[in-house]
Structure 1
Amino acid sequence: MFIIFLDIDGVLTTVNSEYDEQGIVFDPSAIAWLNKLFAKIDCKIVVSSAWRESYRLDELRRELRNLNVEIDSTTPVLSHRGIEIQTWLTENKHSNCYLVIDDNIKEIEQCIPKKNIIYVENGFEERGFSKIHYQMALDKIS
Structure 2
Amino acid sequence: MKALFLDIDGVVNSRRSSVRHGHLVGIDPTLAGRVRRVIAETGCAVVLSSTWRLWEENVAEVRAGVTSELYGMTPSIPGSRRGTEVASWLADHPEVTRYAIVDDNADFARDQPLFQTSWEIGITDEVADALIAYLNDEDAAMPAPRRRGWWRRFLGR
| TM-score, reference length from structure 2 | 0.73
Unaligned ranges ≥5, structure 1: none
Give the superposition deviation at 1:128.
Answer: 0.5
Query: What whole-Å deviation, never above 9, does each CA across 1:5-58 have from its counterpart, x for those lacking one?
Result: 11111001212142257x8641222111111111111122111112223x13xx
| TM-score, reference length from structure 1 | 0.80
Q: Tell me, yes or no, if the aligned pair for 2:21 and 2:27 is still in contact at 8 Å.
A: no
Question: What is the rounded CA distance, in whole Å, between the counterparts of 1:20 and 1:87 in structure 2?
Answer: 29
Distance verdict in 2 for CA 1:52–1:6, change over 3 Å: same
Equivalent residue letter for 1:131: D
Number of residue pairs aligned between Structure 1 and Structure 2: 131
Question: What is the rounded CA distance, in whole Å, between the counterparts of 1:39 and 1:95 in structure 2?
Answer: 17
Name the counterpart of 1:18.
Answer: 19
Q: Tell me, yes or no, if the aligned pair for 2:52 and 2:59 is still in contact at 8 Å.
A: no
Query: What whole-Å deviation, never above 9, does each CA across 1:109-128 have from its counterpart, x for those lacking one?
Result: 35xx25x22111xx222x20
Unaligned ranges ≥5, structure 2: 138-157
Name the counterpart of 1:48.
Answer: 49
Correspondence for 2:129 among 123, 130, 135: 135
TM-align CA RMSD: 2.1
Report runs of 4+ in structure 1 exceeding 6 Å deviation.
Answer: none
Distance verdict in 2 for CA 1:14–1:67, change over 3 Å: same
Give the superposition deviation at 1:81.
Answer: 0.5
Q: Which has the larger radius of gyration?
A: 2
